[in-house]
Structure formats: C-alpha cells, structure tokens
Chain A
C-alpha cells in the first residue's frame, strides 16, 4: 500500500514534469515522452489496455474498470504485471491510430486493443475500421509488443450487411497479423441488464468482472508468449 502511494506520488511528479518539458509552440501529433512508464516498467511487466469508454470504465470507479481488475487478477495468478488504463471515452479507431506513439511511450509488453465501437455507432465504413485497426496492430507489433485484440459486434439496428462486415474486421486482422483474439469483448455482458448501466451500453462493476474472465485467457496466452 505504502509502496503504491509512493509510486503514485512519484508518478504524478514525473508526469507533470514530462507534460511541461519539451513542448514546442507548434502542436504536434507526436506525443511527448513520459519518463514515468519506464520507471514503472523497471520492476514489472507493463500491459496497456487501449480502447474507448468500455476500457476507460465510463460511469464506474477506476478500480472497478476491467484494467484494474485484470491487474489484480493477474497478480493473484502470480504475474508481476501492471495494467495501465489507457481508455479514452468516445475514441474511434482513427483516434486510436493517431495515438499509437503515445501508447508506445508506456513501453508496454502487451497491449489489449479494444476499439471500433464508436466507429460503428457513427456508421463509419467497416473498411475504414479495418484499415485503422490493422495499422495499429502493425505498429504495435513492429515495436515488439504482443497484441491482444478485443473483438466487437455492432448493434443489430444497423442492419445485417453492416453488422456482419463490422464483426468480420477483428478475426480478419487477428488472422492476418497473428494477433491474439478475444472473439467478443462483451461476451455474456452485452444485452444483459444486470451487467450494464442504465444506458444499456456500458458495463457496470459486475459486467467488468465478467469481462476480466473473458479476456484473461488471451492475456495469459500473451504473457506466456513473452516467456
């Protein structure tokens, strides 16, 4: 407990310093290099949970969202890992592609990528989503990162042609890039009122506990690959 508090304090200082140092006048899509992830990675393996509000844990406490629960679960299983919640609510696959360098600065060993739901809600062409996710996985893998891809499905009201094309993006990328695939990230959660918040979209704390069990096998597989 003491250790984690001290880490958090150092973390804040380092982050504030990193945010202030080295920023030019010209805004640049390239993120600054935070020193913190490296310090954190020194004593444990870093897993970055990259995604949208489903990863961020919109509407639930940070410790109830799946990245925190996953970290606890993996530690229970004897893995010395830390899981960074790098979810951004509302983010599309295009936004995720743009911030890959930001994620690389965390120096992760594993990235759990769950993106595309917001693209679907906006009716973005599945080929665009495929192109983005494919590029993200490619960039991460080139950096030596093991990618776990969280598969998504789109709500049925968008019609069969769209939902089928959308759902096909994830297995195709996983197959073509050799990434580990969680067939459906919200398996057993989507459409179950007791596992979702009142908006019917975002999981509640119980929903996230279920999600941890869904992604755990693939993440363990990823960690095994690293050994």
Chain B
C-alpha cells in the first residue's frame, strides 16, 4: 500500500539530495537526447557528403567501354523507374589555342545531362552547370585560361572540334580527393563526345556511370543487381557506402567517436545517478531503521522508498527530455549554414527508450539494491551511530544481475559493433577494478600518516570515518574523469590527425621530374626556399631472402609490393614522422646498408628492424637491413616516402627531384607558366582545388567533432559536479562535531578543502594514467592512428578536474558551516 503523505514528506525532508538526484537524471537524459539528435544529424551529413563525393548513389567504373549486360541492367532499372543514370567519360586531352599556338595537357570530363546527381558544380558566373554546358561549349579551370592566355568567350580546340569557353570552373563535387594529375580540368557536354573524336580504339578513357536511385535505401539492392550483371574483372560497382572517397576513414572515425561519446555519457550518467541515489538512500537509512522500530514491515518501507526514487527519477527524465530538446533546438539554430544539412529537433524512440532504461537501471542498481539490503535491517541498529548493512539476500543478487545485464545491453545499443562493445565492457571492468584497487591502496597509504599538520591529519581521518565512502568516491570519480579525459584525448587526436593536417597554406602545387642538374634553375624560378625531395625509383625484389611474388601481390586490394616505390635519402626524421621501432633512422651506424621503413610499407610484409629488404634500382640489386620503422603522425598532402636510405648509399643512383610549393590562384598559374617555359620536361600538379575541397569538408567535420566532445564533456562535468555535491552534503554531522569541540569555521573549511583536494587529486592522477591507456587503446587499436600524449593539455585537464572537485566539495559543505550546532543537534534528537 502506498502512503502518499509519507512519500511526499520523504521527498520534502531531503530537498537538496532529492534535487540533486533529479538534476543528475535530467542531465543524463538531456545529454542522451541531445547526442541522439546530433547523431542523426551527423549520419545524415555524412551520407550527404559521401554521396556528394561521388555525385551519385551508385558509381560504376571501368577502364574500357561498359559491357552490354551491365548497360542492359542499367536500362532495366530506368525502365521500371527505380533509378536514373548519367554517363561520364574522363580522359587527358591536349587543349590548344585555335591559332595553332600554345597547347597544354588538360583533364577532360565529358558529362551527360543530370550530372551531378548530388552536390553542385560551382562556376565563376554563379550560374547552374545545366544552364551553361551545352553542345559546342566548354567550362574550364582558370589555370588553363592563364596557361593558354585565353578568356571566357574565346575558342578552344580540343580533339577534332572547336569549342567556346562558356565559364570558369571553380569546383566540382566529385573531384577525387586523391586527384593528383597534371592538367587543369575541362567540363564538356556529352553531346560533343563524338565530335571530339577522342574516344576511339587506342584511347585511354575512364568510364563512369552515375546512378541515382529514386527510393532512398534501395542503393545496396540495386547495386547488387548491377554487380551481378557486370564483368568483375574490369567493372567496379560501388555505393556511397563502399566507395573509398579518401575520406572514408575519417567518416568512420567520426561515427565511432560519436558512439564512443554516447557510451561514455552512459557511463558518466550511470555514475552520476548512482552517486546521488546512494547519497539519498544513505540519508534515509536512519529513517528506515526508526520506521521499522515502530513496527513498519520491510515490504512497506522498501515499497515507499522505491516509489520516492521512481518519482524523482521520472521528474528528472521529464526535465531531461525537455532540456535535451531545447539543446537540440539551440544546436539547430547555431549550426544553420555551418553544416550542409539542417539539424532537426527530434526525439527518437531510441533516445527516449535508452534514457528511461538508464533511469530504471540506475534506480535498480543504485537505489533498489541498497533498499533491498535494508529490507531486513535490525531495528536495534538505530541505537548505533552508523547503521551496518546486513548480509545480502537472494533477491539482492537477482536484482543486481538483472540491472547489470540491462546496463550492458544499454551500452550495446550505443556501441553498434559487437566486438567494440565487448572490448568496451572489458575495458570498463578492468578500469573499475584498477580504480578501486588503486583508491584502496592510496587511501590505506594515507591512513598511515601519523605526522604532519593537524589539518592534514584530520582530513585524512575524515576520509577513513566509519561508513565513509572515500574508496567508492575515488573509484567513481576516477572512472568518470577517465571517461572525460579519454574523450578529450581522442578528440584532440582526430583533430590533429585530420583537421589540422590540412592547413590553408599547405603546399598544394607540386612539381615532378626535376632533373638533378636543374635544381638551381628550378629554385631560381620558384624561390630559393622551395624544398626538393630526391626520388629514386626501385622495386622490392625480396624480403628476408623470400622473393616477392608480384602476381600474388597484385591480387591484394590494398597497396602492395608489386609496384615500384619511391626511395629517398636523408639523415633525419621529418616534422610529421615518429619512430615506432629503432633508436634512430639508421641505427648505430654499424649497418652497411640501412633502410628506414614507413609503417604502412612495413605492414605489407610485417617487416621489423633487423630484417632485410632487397631492392632493384635501375638494374642494380641492393640489399638493405631495416634499422627503423617510421610512422606519419598525421594525414596530409605533404610528400612522404616508404623507404629512406642514407645519401652515401643511393645519393648517386638515377634520380629525379620533386618539389611542393605553397601557391594558389594567379601566383600558382604564374609559377607553372614560368617553369613550363624554362623547364618543359617538368610537370606541375596543382592540387589546390583538392586541398580546398578537403579543407572545407574537414572544417564542417571539425565543427561536429567539437560539438560532440563539448556536449559530452560539459554534461559529464555537470554530472560529476552533482555527484560530488551529493556526497559532500552528507558532512553536516562532522561540521557540528568540529564546532562543538571548539573548532573555528576556518579550520573546518580547511579540513574539508583538504579532504576534497585529496579525493580530487587522487582521482585526477589515477584518471590521468588510465585515460592515457584507454585513449591509447582507442587511438591505436580502433582508429589506427598514432598516439600523441598531449602532456600539457592532459596535465591541465587533470589539475582542473582536481580543483573542480575541491571547489564543488567545499561548496557542498558550505551551507553546513553556517548552521548552528544546536540546530543540528535538535534535528538529530528529533530523529
């Protein structure tokens, strides 16, 4: 039977603790709701960006004309209204002035009407491509105009036909992010394909078939139909999911980070609700004992208090949903124009369900369990100062098991991948165990403190008071801070590896095939500071004496040893390189022919220091011993080399030089013109458009990354604050004792400050170490990125966390310092 007055009175008797519980639940639910909305926005954005990067839902590629069965399959899709398609031909062409003057290599793209299905081609005039591109007209990049000294409206000779330059191309959505080819882009209409006379036997053409599906979600099924009709040897069918746009790794990492933030938020929320619930139940233990003394049954007490907890939990959930929706609305307004999709305000059933389940689990684990333990409490316990908990009953174990299973299942919803979920649970278990053990050891060591100022000794004694929760507090704080620090470290790593790796002023103009004797002339043309990288071409013929099977290597989808590699010589690491193995690039100098290998290449054959690699350089064999393994610390457009040898070994081998220059727009065109005139053998590759596309995309993703991390961290901190407040508020009795014994307020304040400083520092130090391990596992193991330790930032974050715990703890104790001892004694005696 529910006793309404009793329930309401219990809520009213502990307003602070009740409010904190509502706050903790509210924050948890609000964060989960907001993250769920953000997750939906991010997934929509990534889907859109992935589609834009290939301008279609399905992309079919071939280096030869498409086979009749494939074309028939496409026609069938169009006939039944499932999709539409557009054919694209890509090829290198020579673009000439009509006066038979200058000619230059260009990268032509002949597009059918409808192109692009996603994203847009931006033209200098601001008009749509469909308005501009028609038979007899061509759209060109400004680099080509500058190179041939032409303007819009002039005629341009391409193949067997003459076209009118209709506009200047600024960007195209599906330019491959690995587009590194000499020659400016030309966009031509499919209607001119025949007149060009360039697609014929003996031509080198890239055939693309863009397909847009009418029913979203059909792409996988339709792609399977096309795949079944294709010639797998030469025709490749990809959906936006399977195509490797060059950004896929980043997209995958971002999605993983999102789920990680969700999982960590769940853990933080669990800890926050647990702490506030535990504090509330502890606050009611004496009341429960008194009730039972006056005849209340265990069932009555448990039922009433369970309803108290559920009511508070429901209030928190309702407020949390409202706050979560408000955060979503605020984000939606803030992100308008920043992200390519409108962030919708949605309350997904999944978010609501997981929020309610979280509340239930937390109430089950951290509210119901203590209540069940109090179920059979002896009334005589009221006579003792601290109420010891009775032995655990069967119902307790059942409830504990059910709650744990529910909590694990909740995490499973957040982490979609089963393997990651298991690893996460394992990591969480190990983390909890380690934190608890370390907290116990640390606190035990502190207890042995016999000397030192009275303030410090009192603070340490305070932590060891009977029935105290110091170990539990340090454990939960450590796990919470570990989650927060790990999240921050992973976010920093993703930013460093991708977003910051493509600065706006990064060199994006590359010159290749500079001959050694042209070095000085090249520098005179481009600038004395232009870096020159020697390139020695070589094949790997054997590893550890085992000949490389080129045929087998070629079958591998990923980079392999069948190709020819660029070797270089230098004696130092580049700014974006670190050593994974080996003490220096070339060891201690005793190796006759040392070679430093990039981890990507080392991974092809699991090469380690001490192994041998046989190269063939222009007819000469060379066997080198691996002295170090290098890793690039970030993705970038910077040149990198798989194999580095000393200059003394390959300095005189046949070589060319490569340069990367920072120049855009008119300056880039001017440099290209100058070099082409003086050194006609040197080819220029202008990757500035690729760099711009990358920078724009990464800029959007960086916003998302910061939002996810910010949301999770702010909410996490607030949850930590609420749990510290909850435990700190239980200090009233100690304050009274100190005051009664004649202690001044300043002394009491000092004791509490030190107590929380010890708790906070211990948790922060433990979290600092554990977060480095946890983030290391995530960064190296899951994201496959090199780990940076961000020492300064980590130390600052840990110090900040310790300070925050101290200040919040003090704030929690502050009201009790102002209470007169007589008032408290009166309250206690009333109880």
Contacts and interface: CB of A to CB of B under 8 A. Distances in A.
A19 B93 contact: no
A197 B551 CA distance: 10
Contacts, number: 177
A92 interface: yes
A23 B651 contact: yes
Nearest to B656: A95
A122 B549 contact: no
Given A15-B621, A156-B200, A53 B515 contact: no
A41 interface: no
B201 A156 contact: yes
A143 to B, nearest CB: 16
A122 B683 contact: yes
B160 interface: yes
Given A59-B554, A102-B618, A161 B96 contact: yes
A88 B683 contact: no
Given A48-B619, A155-B202, A56 B654 contact: no
A61 B542 CA distance: 11
Interface string A180-219: 0000000000110100011111000000000000000000
Contacts of B537: 88-91
Given A123-B92, A157-B203, A23 B619 contact: no
B638 to A, nearest CB: 20
Interface string B175-203: 00000001100000000000001111111
Interface stretch (B125-133, B291-299, B642-650): B642-650
Interface in B618-637: 618-623
Interface in B515-551: 515-517, 534, 537, 539, 541, 547, 549-551
Interface magnitude class on chain A: 35 or more
Interface in B548-577: 549-551, 554, 562-564
Contacts of B649: 19-20, 23
B805 to A, nearest CB: 59
B105 interface: yes
Contacts of A15: 620-622
Interface in A1-55: 8, 11-12, 15-16, 19-20, 23, 25, 27-32, 34, 36, 48, 53
B290 interface: no
A109 interface: no
A90 B564 contact: yes
A80 interface: no
A86 B622 contact: no
B683 A98 contact: no
B681 A20 contact: no
Interface in A119-137: 119, 121-125, 128, 132
A128 B681 contact: yes
A98 B653 CA distance: 11
Given A11-B621, A156-B200, A156-B202, A128 B680 contact: yes
A132 B679 CA distance: 13
A27 B651 CA distance: 6
A16 B549 contact: no
A87 B616 CA distance: 10
Contacts of A60: 550-551
Interface string A74-95: 0000000000111111111111
Contacts of A87: 618-619
A36 B621 CA distance: 11
Nearest to A53: B564
Nearest to A8: B621
A205 B743 CA distance: 94
Nearest to B234: A198
B797 interface: no
Contacts of A29: 515-517
B84 interface: no
Nearest to A197: B554
B778 interface: no
Interface residues of B, number: 63
B550 A23 contact: no
A62 B105 contact: no
B667 interface: no
B621 A12 contact: yes
Contact of A92 (B160, B550, B648, B681): B681
Contact of B64 (A99, A132, A200): A200
Nearest to A123: B105
A92 to B, nearest CB: 5
Nearest to A100: B654
A19 B200 contact: no
Interface in B82-102: 91-94, 96
B513 interface: yes
A125 B233 CA distance: 35
A128 to B, nearest CB: 5
Contacts of B651: 23, 27-28
Given A15-B620, A16-B593, A23-B647, A193 B683 contact: no
Nearest to B681: A94
Interface in A148-183: 153, 155-162
A88 B92 contact: no
A119 B105 CA distance: 11
Given A56-B539, A198-B234, A94 B513 contact: yes
B418 interface: no
A106 interface: yes
A59 B199 CA distance: 26
A60 B96 CA distance: 38
B158 interface: yes
A94 B203 contact: no
Contact of A160 (B160, B183, B616): B160
A198 B63 contact: yes
Given A15-B622, A122-B182, A156-B203, A98 B654 contact: yes
A223 interface: no
The residue in A61, A125, A190 that gathers the most chain B C-beta atoms within 10 A of its C-beta is A61
A86 B619 CA distance: 4
Given A19-B622, A62-B616, A162-B94, A157 B550 contact: no
B652 A32 contact: yes
B335 interface: no
A152 to B, nearest CB: 12
B104 A28 contact: no
A58 interface: yes
Contacts of A159: 93-94, 158-160, 197-198
B100 to A, nearest CB: 9
Contacts of B623: 12, 16
A8 B542 CA distance: 14
Nearest to A60: B550
B564 A89 contact: yes
B205 interface: yes
A191 B202 contact: yes
Interface string B102-121: 01110000000000000000
Closest 6 CB pairs of A and B: A123-B105, A86-B619, A89-B564, A94-B681, A99-B654, A155-B204
Interface of B: 63-64, 91-94, 96, 103-105, 158-160, 182-183, 197-205, 233-234, 513, 515-517, 534, 537, 539, 541, 547, 549-551, 554, 562-564, 592-593, 616, 618-623, 647-654, 656, 680-681, 683
Given A12-B623, A95-B654, A158-B94, 16 more contacts: A15-B622, A16-B592, A23-B649, A27-B652, A31-B652, A61-B550, A98-B515, A98-B516, A99-B654, A122-B683, A123-B92, A155-B204, A156-B201, A157-B93, A159-B197, A201-B204
27 contacts: A8-B621, A16-B593, A19-B650, A19-B653, A20-B592, A20-B648, A25-B647, A27-B534, A27-B651, A31-B653, A58-B563, A59-B554, A60-B550, A85-B619, A86-B618, A94-B515, A98-B654, A99-B618, A123-B104, A123-B183, A153-B202, A155-B203, A156-B202, A158-B198, A159-B94, A159-B197, A190-B202
Interface of A: 8, 11-12, 15-16, 19-20, 23, 25, 27-32, 34, 36, 48, 53, 56, 58-62, 84-95, 97-99, 102, 106, 119, 121-125, 128, 132, 153, 155-162, 190-191, 193, 197-201
